[in-house]
Chains A and B, each alone.
Chain A
């Protein structure tokens, strides 16, 4: 069984400020973890993924995430927010092995970027 908890359904930051979106996971097998972004009225686009290689993962648009097994966390960060980062962000988990393609999503975090 696997699950994802995203703390904070809405996060607001000023342009140029640090972005931190939190994700904690639960998985009975070694996890694969993903962050997806959804811009208004669009589908989901992969930001980055953790697949048991390096624990610090760099993605597109300046985002990165660090896998911390001891804390069962995979928080998403970006040093300096841009107006174009305003979107909804989803953390997802799957487990290596049988049924591994079945993603379990968190409930999402809406990021607002203010001037």
Chain B
């Protein structure tokens, strides 16, 4: 199993550009989520999904969109990039319920200039 994969690993955007961060998992997990990691702030939840077709907002959703058309994929879209979105983004997945253990991808480092 590849686990949770994320692409790209690095990305540089100009202010106002849009892009999609890809996340996929091959563990048949119902729950998937996106976090952003900023120095001194830990990880903060952006959006999450409890299954295909169902998404909801987390703690810091502004400027981001998500969709979940399949169990495997959960892309994160930046609509109009801003320097405040410079961060490291992590995707995670888990089974719904159980012990709530989440499996993390390797991250995408995004810089917005």
In contact, A102 and B45 (Cβ under 8 angstroms) = yes
Interface of chain B residues 54 through 113 with chain A (CB within 8 A) = 58, 90, 92, 94, 96-97, 99-107
Selected from B42, B97, B99, the residue in CB contact (under 8 A) with A49 is: B99
Q: Which residues of the partner chain B approach A101 to less than 8 Å between Cβ atoms?
A: 31, 33, 48, 50, 94, 96-97, 100, 102
Q: Which residues of the partner chain B approach A102 to less than 8 Å between Cβ atoms?
A: 33, 45, 48, 58
In contact, B42 and A107 (Cβ under 8 angstroms) = yes
By beta carbon, the residue of chain B nearest A94 is: B100
Question: How many residues of B are counted as interface, with CB atoms below 8 angstroms from the partner's CB atoms?
Answer: 27
What is the CA–CA distance of A108 and B42 in the complex, to the nearest angstrom?
6
What is the CA–CA distance of A89 and B43 in the complex, to the nearest angstrom?
12
CB of B40 within 8 A of chain A? yes
In contact, A43 and B105 (Cβ under 8 angstroms) = yes
Interface of chain A residues 67 through 115 with chain B (CB within 8 A) = 90, 94, 100-108
B37-53 contact mask (Cβ, 8 Å, vs A): 1 or 0: 00011111100101000
Interface of B, helix, strand, loop or mixed by DSSP: strand
Interface residues in chain B, defined as those with a beta carbon under 8 Å from any beta carbon in chain A: 4, 31, 33, 35, 40-45, 48, 50, 58, 90, 92, 94, 96-97, 99-107
A2-32 contact mask (Cβ, 8 Å, vs B): 1 or 0: 0010000100000000000000000000001
CB of A44 within 8 A of chain B? yes
